[in-house]
Chains A and B, each alone.
Chain A
Amino acid sequence: MNRLAVTAAGAVLLASLSLSSVIASAGWIVTGAGAVAVVAIAGALTRRPRLPAAVAATFLVLIALVPLLTRPGWADRSVALVILVITALSATGARPLRGIAVLASYLSALLLYLNVTFAHSASLGLLIPTDSSMSALARLWEAAFAEFRYAPPIPDLQPVSLVTAAGIGGVAIAVDILAVRLRRPAVAGLPLLLLFSVPVASNLKVFGFPQMIIFAVSLTGYLALLSADGRERLRMWGRLVTFRHIQSADEPGSGPDTRELSASGRRIGLAAVCLAIVVPAILPTVRARDLFGAVPTGTGHGGSHSTGVSPLLRVQNLLEGKPQPVLSYTTTAKDPAEQYFQVYALNYDPRQNDWPPPTYSGTRAPDGPKLPWAVPGVLASTPATKVTTTITISSSDTGEAILPMPYAPVRLDIGGSGWLEMGGSLTVFDPAVTMPDLRYTVQSEEVSPPPADIPNYLGPPASISTAYGTYNGPDFGQLRHIAVEHTRGATTELQQARDLENWFQSGAFTYSLKPNLPATNWLLSFLTTDRRGFCSQFAQAFAILARTLGIPARVAIGYTAGTPGPGNTWRITTADAHAWPEVYFAGEGWLRFEPTPSGSRGQGTAEVPAYAGGGGSAGRQQGAAPGDSSTSSTGRLRGIRGRTLPNRDVHLPGGGQMTASTRHAGSKTGFALAVAIVLFLLIAWPAMTRLLTRRRRWLTASGDAGIAKAAWRELTDDLADYGLPCGPGETPRGVARRVAREARLGETATAALSRLAAAEERARYARLPEPGTGLKAAVLTVRRAVAASVPRRQRVRARLLPASTVLAARQLLQRGSEMPNWLDSPWPTVRRRLREATARRAG
């Protein structure tokens, strides 16, 4: 095995270290290293001479194909036989055959390794795979993907180890083929990148010092691979010999001159670093982590994982992305538009000051197949409408297998037996099932009492009020003050909740998917000053305000009713993803409210439920009218029996919409002025610089030589401005000759130009300079003549954007970009010193 192959294997091994932040414990490293070693050995076998390589490949493939060959039926057997024959025929050296044989031997070796490591008990003689060992591997494989659903770090279980080893082995195959076989080690970085990207692609948001160290260590493998390839290449060519210049030992800098090359390399590096800093700073991204807090990670012992992505963040991602179909359904509901599809509900966690994803702890299997469930808080006597909904999940949804269902589901018809319910929350999931093309029927109870029927004398049970009815987060006092302020006069909890809803819906808040809220204490700023947000903010704000009033509230995540399609079918897309608050009423259970504005200026398909003041179908027509939120909210208010609340939200104390918009306008003018000034300065800067340079030049010039020099500098700058720049090696008389010819100067101007050139020449090279009288006038003459000879556009450009100042700026930039070259300067000195020291010792 050559050095390059070993380096490639090492690089894969080091790169796979980056997985350590995703997978808990370290057992997988050993199996991964084994896979890399097996692949490296297989690679070495394929690089043997033709005949031995073919024999080895045939042997490997034969063993690996045993399960196929022993299977009844001709289809599998013939496929296996064809592969086997191709591998054997590769001994003839035919190119495509060899290619297939090489690939087959890599894959066979990896398969055999995985079989021996993970399914040896079902294998023949612990080594040869059988049908049963293969299906054992397949089972493990599937089980692993169920694990991956959870937030990292994933426990290092056998299934996870299998997939990790297979993945590392696959990358090792790609790297071995690219780096060793095809001699393209730079390209081999791509499969390695795959390993690096795993932690990035996961929702692991931890990136601290250990990760940095791991990344750096992982990267050294790739760098070593590149350098090993470079050395290998040199060895193939032998030493580079030049007879141009034999250098003696004391001469500095032996070897070819690569300074230019390394300088441009450093320049590229500098530019890359600058880009890497600037681009993310410019891109308008919401720092989601700051908005919603970090995603809590599971403990890694199975049984109590949390779902991966922060649910509220996921809603935002879905809303921001291109709408994708999620599901379609038919329903028997009276008003389908009011029927939301809940996926799960969140509770506030004061320790994190956030709404963490639900934990799967305390899961229970349904009491029987598709059994009726008791809906928490709903009394048997509560009137409820039974609604049957048949749901088909679209194939493009690959999300978590948590079923979106209308609340409250009481009966579920679905295939499979592994469905679990999450701790009495009516959230149903199955970690072993993937979502696409699931089809199920849900029977739900729509508790939709008329508003007056919701009693307020029955308090919620203690378990609910402790879990959902309190708020221990920051700014309690201020939040409660706001809540009380906007629910003044309400006598029931329902009325309080409605008042809050009305306030949010009143137009004082603007719907925006790009809320510009501070990372900490965003809630207070959302409620008082910023007042821009989308469903997540509205739902959280509503729920927390309700809690400060002692009303149990939670945030539900799911979808709105979507849009009606052809026939009876309704369709839900990712644009209908939604978060809404639910309030607990004794005897009614959890009832949803809708603080988020709807329609074209809000969440398109959001609907205020009838009991909370929604106007049903008629009100919807009104409410959905764009820009007409005040009308619709008035309509809703009227729907509440026995009370006519004034639309007081317009006269909000403490700065409502008006104040905000005025302030906004004021800052806008200031901003525009600042932009105008900056623009003016930017535009005027080159011309002003040019004028100042000219003035300074003539003022500081002294003596005949000084005046000649100033005159010549001025002239060359003028020429550059008018598009006739001077080359670095152009002599004064050369410039004079060329300009006279190109600008077709008249006699006077040509004479003036020659005079300037002669003066500069004498000043620079003769013993004594010429008298400097009249040189300033000569410069003016030449400038006028040159200006007259160029097109108008060029003249204007020379005035506004003189090239001479631009050139100076460019030179400055160039010098800046050469700054990294200073790194170079100490090296020759250090090397010389070392050489001298060794020579002294030898001497």
Chain B
Amino acid sequence: MVTQTDQQAERSLDELVGIAKQVSSAVQTVISGKAGAVRLALTVLLAEGHILIEDVPGVGKTQLAKALARSIDCSVRRVQFTPDLLPSDITGVNAYNQELREFEFKPGPIFANIVLGDEINRASPKTQSALLESMEERQVTVDGSTYQLEPPFMVIATQNPVEMEGTYPLPEAQRDRFMSRISIGYPDRVSELAMLDSHGGGSPLDELTPVAHASDIRALVAAVREVHVKESIRRYIIDLVNATRTAAELRLGASPRAALHLLRASRAHAALDGRDFVIPDDVQALAIPVLAHRLLPSAEAMVGRELPDQVLSSIIQRLALPSR
């Protein structure tokens, strides 16, 4: 017995999987051999989160962001963060219009569907927090007037973990606002060879044409919200987050916001699999990308070179699955 709403959900899910696959393959024409990173980026987009890409220079952080933005027919703005960048350079300013004799709001680069913040750690904390505020609230307030940001809205921030001199690394509170952190990593031999071939002549980014529209994405986001999460899965998420708080190897555990992010991302992950219900596999697959960047290892764990990633995977292994 299948109800009307179920049929609708089924239809939109099928549609979603089709579109997502198109977007994914489009992005992969630019970034080859990184299906996991691309899928994660899509997951975060559908879960209405933001991504922090942390990796060494030249592995394709910006390329990934650009390809994702371009494969969806939506507005993309890129901000190169520098130490002298001001908050108003991001949010926009009220400028005096000589003709109309009044102040007119000139929107900044934040007013786009996808905002690419390159090397976010180079900007001053003041500017960083301006960006992060609008990320969280999905609105900008300038001189007392509030301007809503159009959905879909996703910030893709990149950060270079190696070159740290003269930068302002994001503090824990700010990192917590990103739904997920992605490390792209070096491509394998075959992919790197393929990249030399395809990127040798011109940029494949230029040849990329949009395969989905912003309205499609909005519909898909709505569909993701409908994905069913059983009580036991919610409890599992809470257990997982709690385990990071009591683990001896961690000095700082995951926040309640992290639990929320994990739930949303799991929904999107399930939806991308064509499922209308979340299973523990979704949670487990996303635990490290969603939680690891929020955790701080204890001094002993640091000495033992035990990264939060490893701690998390051992927690996942040990934590009993929710019974029904």
Contacts and interface: CB of A to CB of B under 8 A. Distances in A.
B105 interface: no
B246 A728 contact: no
Interface string B125-168: 00000000000000000000000000000000000000000000
Interface residues of A, number: 21
Interface stretch (A387-395, A761-769, A834-842): A761-769
Contacts of A731: 279-281, 284, 321
B279 A765 contact: yes
B302 interface: no
Given A728-B320, A734-B281, A761-B279, 4 more contacts: A709-B324, A729-B321, A731-B280, A763-B324
Nearest to B278: A765
Secondary structure type dominating chain B contacts: mixed
A733 interface: yes
Interface residues of B, number: 25
B277 A767 contact: yes
B324 A729 contact: no
23 contacts: A243-B251, A244-B298, A245-B245, A709-B324, A728-B318, A728-B319, A728-B321, A730-B321, A731-B279, A732-B279, A734-B281, A734-B284, A761-B279, A763-B324, A764-B230, A764-B279, A764-B324, A765-B233, A765-B280, A766-B228, A766-B230, A766-B276, A767-B277
Interface of A: 243-245, 257, 705, 709, 727-734, 761-767
B227 to A, nearest CB: 11
Nearest to B280: A731
Contacts of B245: 245
Contacts of A729: 284, 316-321
B295 to A, nearest CB: 12
Contacts of B277: 762, 765-767
Contacts of B174: none
A762 B279 CA distance: 9
A731 B323 CA distance: 11
B252 interface: yes
Closest 10 CB pairs of A and B: A766-B277, A728-B320, A731-B280, A731-B281, A765-B230, A764-B324, A729-B317, A765-B279, A729-B319, A765-B277
A165 B252 CA distance: 59
A36 B324 CA distance: 66
B232 interface: yes
Nearest to A728: B320
B302 to A, nearest CB: 14
A273 to B, nearest CB: 30
Contacts of A257: 246
A727 B317 contact: yes
A764 B251 contact: no
A276 B92 CA distance: 80
Interface string B275-298: 111111100100000000000001
A121 to B, nearest CB: 66
B70 to A, nearest CB: 34
B320 A765 contact: no
A730 B313 CA distance: 12
B235 to A, nearest CB: 12
Contacts of A761: 279
Nearest to A766: B277
A733 B324 CA distance: 16
A766 B229 CA distance: 8
Nearest to B252: A244
Contacts of B252: 244
Contacts of B316: 729
B80 to A, nearest CB: 36
User: Which one of B275, B281, B320 has the greatest number of beta carbons of chain A within 10 Å?
Assistant: B281
A244 B281 CA distance: 30
Interface string B297-324: 0100000000000000000111111101
Nearest to A243: B251
B279 A733 contact: yes
Nearest to B298: A244
A244 B232 CA distance: 29
